[in-house]
Structure 1
Amino acid sequence: MTKLEPGSPEWAKTITASKIPAILGISRWTSQFAMWHQMAGNTTEVISEPRQDNFDYGHAVEVAAAEYWKYRNPGWRISRGEIQFSRADLPFPNAATIDRRGSRGSRRRIVEVKTARSLEEWGDDGTGNVPADYTAQVIWQQFIAGWHVAADLVLWPQYGMPRIYTVEYDSQIAAVIVDRALAWHKSLEAGEPPELDDTVATYETVKQLHPDIDGSSVELDPDLAHRFIDWHQEQKQTNASVTGMKSKVLDAMGSAQYAMCNGQKIADRRPGRGGSVSLYANTKLDLATIKEIAS
């Protein structure tokens, strides 16, 4: 087949590996609503300069990651570039582009490369497992390529040594993904978008869908109007409370990097712009754990 290029009209309508997490509703970067309208041609994905720079950095890293994978897998060969696959037996446009193809004789395996600033940003919760969104993406690649063997995913952090994660093929998960992909395709044909949600991606999409201001008025449902104003008033109070709490934690930390409580990390200080310092709460910590510590 002719290779699909990201950003092309054909690419937008095709169910690809990178879109699978959003279709399943497990993407950390976009929403079902945002992805649906992109694929329907109602909105366009805006690539900022910093994001494009990240893409360029990722492509450059692939070269080094491929060499690292070869050192860790003696006797295997690896392709010099991406390889794209598609299945003609599926009732919807599909594709899977893998970063590299590992080969040894007749054996083949997928080698993917991901970048992250840290393991925390990558999503490793300490189990050593690949995050769910990337796992689904790789299983789709395995299904489309027809290589039902373990795939390797090379994580290239900005700080620290690279790590190689393994993603086993799961036929049951693959079947669920295909079913969801087919339902997604049918919803596009029927013009039935997903429900709104509370993600930033959905909010930005709604703004793209209605960029014009025509001077008219619309009557809101009283319940929606009440919740909208009530939420904004509560948000102002919450923001003030959060700022006060951050000041207290920063004051208690002094020059320390981490704020701890009975062995649990509560927050950490990181360098900010212009020589400033930013405070980051450990939002992954279960609130019940803190309550147990406090009691």
Structure 2
Amino acid sequence: MTAFNPPTGVLLGQYIPGTKAWDKARAGLCITATEIAAVMGLSPWASRFSLWHKKAGLPTPPFETNPAVEWGNRLEPVVAQKFADEHPEIELRTTGTWRHRDREWQRATPDRIAQDRLVEVKTSPFGDGWGPSGSDELPIYYRCQVQWQLDTLGLDVCHVALLVSGHDYREYVVEYDETDAKVMRGAAEEFLNDVRQGNRPPIDGADATYQTIRVQPVGREERDVEISAEHAADYDIAQQAYRAADTELTRARGQILDAIGTGYRAVHGDRRIAYRTVKDDGTTLALQPYRGTSA
């Protein structure tokens, strides 16, 4: 078995996710591997706006688990064991929360560590954004996470073990990219400076931004608030566009549902577009899109 070469990062400790100790290790003015994609404006779960409020100690929506998160956590040790079975020459170890040896604010909590490399474990219902097994094609937000982990720990390679749809096992190899890491570090430092100086990011269209705005005010005063002509016009235009898009979406749904008939899935080539759910009597309940499509 290959000798274990420790990373150059500083191990802060091994914490159970969700505990106070775990939260403390990730709190304050630091950027973790799961946050760097939000800093870059590339996260599907958080925005620069929502992360800024979190780092500034302002109200943010509470984290709510869902089946994807639950089963991702449940399956992590199973997928990690599959990787270990495929690579008996590598000693796979659990790890903890790390910081960069020089940059105390740079944090990462990789899933596993194996000799001189990291191993990340992921699950995906449909595999959207993932390339063929053996490639380095990851969704951009996971690539950010992996590069941040490698940069934090001072390592050069990360293996990603992925389970798609509960049965399709794949592996990816991502090498450290110094240029990408430098860009992310610069963006993270600028972001943290904005937090210190109170420079709030602009409001964008991310749902995380809207949900963060929702939890800021508490209570209601019986008063009118004058808004700008620009904000009023922007809202009116967006509402009109939404109604028009909703009408077009209903038409597109009708076309697909009509084409499916008594079938189950709508496909185009090797792409699944949408699927039909039914009531107990066999009539249509709904047309559901596959991830990455709009049905």
TM bucket (normalised to shorter chain) is: 0.7 to 0.9
Aligned to 2:287: 278
TM-aligned CA distance change 1:174 to 1:234, over 3 Å: closer
TM-aligned CA distance change 1:237 to 1:144, over 3 Å: closer
Aligned to 1:199: 206
Aligned to 1:223: 230
From 95, 108, 127, the equivalent of 1:96 is: 108
TM-aligned CA distance change 1:168 to 1:240, over 3 Å: same
Whether the 8 Å contact between 1:40 and 1:188 is mirrored in structure 2 is yes
CA displacement, residues 69-125 of structure 1 (integer Å, 9 cap, x when unaligned): 11221211111x3322112412x522111111112xxxx2100111111112xx226
- Count of aligned residue pairs for this structure pair: 272
Measured in 2, the distance between the counterparts of 1:156 and 1:242 equals 32
RMSD, aligned α-carbons: 2.7
Measured in 1, the distance between the counterparts of 2:37 and 2:101 equals 22
* Identity over aligned pairs, percent: 25
Q: Give 3-state SS (helix, strand or coil) of 1:214's partner.
A: coil
Give unmatched runs, 5+ long, in structure 2: 1-10
Q: Give 3-state SS (helix, strand or coil) of 2:183's partner.
A: helix
Q: Give 3-state SS (helix, strand or coil) of 1:153's partner.
A: strand
Measured in 2, the distance between the counterparts of 1:26 and 1:237 equals 28
Which runs of structure 1 show a deviation greater than 4 angstroms over 4 or more consecutive aligned residues?
4-7, 125-128, 263-266, 272-275, 281-285
Aligned to 1:249: 256
- The TM-score with structure 2 as length reference comes to 0.81
Q: Give 3-state SS (helix, strand or coil) of 2:34's partner.
A: helix
Aligned-pair distance for 1:183? Answer: 0.9
Measured in 2, the distance between the counterparts of 1:74 and 1:238 equals 53
User: Counterpart of 1:75 in structure 2: which amino acid?
Assistant: E
- The TM-score with structure 1 as length reference comes to 0.81
User: Counterpart of 1:12 in structure 2: which amino acid?
Assistant: A
From 171, 179, 187, the equivalent of 2:178 is: 171
Measured in 2, the distance between the counterparts of 1:24 and 1:208 equals 23
Give unmatched runs, 5+ long, in structure 1: 286-295
TM-aligned CA distance change 1:214 to 1:119, over 3 Å: same
- Structure (1 or 2) with the greater helix fraction: 1
Measured in 1, the distance between the counterparts of 2:202 and 2:191 equals 13
Whether the 8 Å contact between 2:275 and 2:290 is mirrored in structure 1 is no
Structure-to-structure mapping, 1:95-134, within 5 angstroms: 95-103=107-115, 108-120=116-128, 123-124=129-130, 128=135, 129-134=137-142
